[in-house]
């Protein structure tokens, strides 16, 4: 197995040459999504009407968004929703939302 160079890693979310790894996604471990599988990315504000979502520490409350385990989510105000072509969309709260969005978007174009 080759080691990929990380473009971003905050301990919960890792972006490297192969794709994005969402740690603590499943109870048994991480989920890795190749960039080619990401059809789109959308920001989701965790303020106003969506403020209650910031308390979703893990799992899904609406059967559309799946949140990885992130005990620091209540202190964050923006999430990224990854469209992977399925009903359930991985929804993440990286420490640097703009950097992760830029990396994913850069791989969509390149």
Q: What is the pLDDT of residue 76?
A: 96
What is the distance of C-alpha 84 from the center of its chain?
11
In this model, does residue 4 exceed pLDDT 80? no
- For the stretch 39-68, pLDDT in tens is 999 999 999 988 889 999 999 989 999 999
In this model, does residue 110 exceed pLDDT 60? no
Please state, in angstroms and rounded to a whole number, the distance separating the CA atoms of residues 10 and 5.
14
Please state, in angstroms and rounded to a whole number, the distance separating the CA atoms of residues 67 and 81.
9
Nearest to 78 by CA among 108, 103, 53, 104: 53
Q: Are 37 and 85 in contact (CB under 8 A)?
A: yes
Query: What pTM does this model have?
Result: 0.92
Looking from the CA of 45 toward its CB, the CA atoms found within 13 Å total 3
Please state, in angstroms and rounded to a whole number, the distance separating the CA atoms of residues 32 and 16.
10
Q: What is the pLDDT of residue 1?
A: 45
- For the stretch 8-24, pLDDT in tens is 999 999 999 999 999 99
């Amino acid at each position: 197995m080759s080691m990929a160079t990380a473009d971003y890693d905050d301990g919960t979310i890792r972006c490297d040459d192969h794709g994005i790894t969402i740690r603590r996604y499943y109870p048994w471990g991480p989920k890795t999504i190749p960039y080619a599988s990401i059809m789109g990315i959308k920001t989701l504000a965790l303020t106003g009407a969506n403020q209650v979502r910031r308390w979703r520490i893990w799992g899904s409350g609406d059967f559309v968004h799946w949140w990885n385990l992130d005990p620091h989510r209540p202190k964050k105000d923006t999430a990224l929703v990854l469209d992977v072509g399925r009903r359930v969309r991985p929804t993440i709260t990286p420490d640097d939302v703009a950097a992760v969005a830029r990396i994913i978007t850069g791989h969509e174009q390149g």
